[in-house]
């Protein structure tokens, strides 16, 4: 019973490490069709150059290695296209909220529009 449990446990941990479908040089036309659908950019250019290298590869292993690089850059480019299409704001503006300025009041005349303030005019302070 322990041997069976050990075997099943080992298989459960090793199964994700096995490749789902091995790439071959026959996948070059499908890769080209996918890269053609991507928006222009640095990752798309890198994917296209690795695809050209895969076509010119002298062996199956070299071709598969280049196709793996094509896959890496094409996934990055597709993710960038998806982000661009969603219209997401840039990460710096999304993380940084608008800064609220405290205007001058009776006790704090060194704030914007106070008598002791020597900075630029703030339009929304009375």
For residue 46, tell me if it sits in a domain: yes
Structural domain range at position 58? 22-88
Taking residue 119's Cβ as centre, other Cβ atoms within 10 Å add up to: 11
Residue 20 CA from chain centroid, whole number: 23
* Predicted pLDDT at 115: 92
Render pLDDT for 2-60 as a digit per residue (tens, 0 to 9): 554 545 454 555 444 445 468 888 989 999 999 999 999 999 999 999 999 999 988 99
For residue 122, tell me if it sits in a domain: no
For residue 80, tell me if it sits in a domain: yes
Share of the chain above pLDDT 90, in %: 49
* Predicted pLDDT at 116: 93
Render pLDDT for 52-107 as a digit per residue (tens, 0 to 9): 999 998 899 999 999 999 999 999 999 999 988 887 655 555 566 667 888 999 99
Please give the Cα distance from 20 to 80 (Å, whole number).
25
* Predicted pLDDT at 87: 77
Q: How many domains does the chain have?
A: 1
* Predicted pLDDT at 20: 47
Please give the Cα distance from 120 to 101 (Å, whole number).
12
* Predicted pLDDT at 96: 61
Taking residue 24's Cβ as centre, other Cβ atoms within 10 Å add up to: 11
For residue 55, tell me if it sits in a domain: yes
For residue 116, tell me if it sits in a domain: no
* Predicted pLDDT at 92: 53
């Amino acid at each position: 019973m322990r041997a069976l449990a050990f075997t099943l446990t080992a298989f459960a941990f090793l199964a994700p490490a096995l490749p789902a479908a091995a790439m071959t040089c026959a996948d070059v036309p499908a890769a080209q069709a996918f890269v053609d659908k991507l928006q222009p950019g640095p990752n798309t250019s890198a994917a296209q150059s690795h695809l050209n290298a895969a076509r010119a590869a002298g062996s199956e292993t070299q071709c598969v290695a280049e196709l793996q690089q094509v896959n890496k850059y094409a996934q990055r480019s597709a993710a960038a296209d998806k982000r661009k299409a969603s219209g997401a704001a840039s990460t710096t503006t999304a993380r940084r909220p608008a800064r609220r300025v405290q205007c001058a009041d009776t006790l704090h005349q060194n704030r914007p529009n106070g008598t002791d303030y020597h900075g630029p005019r703030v339009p929304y302070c009375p």
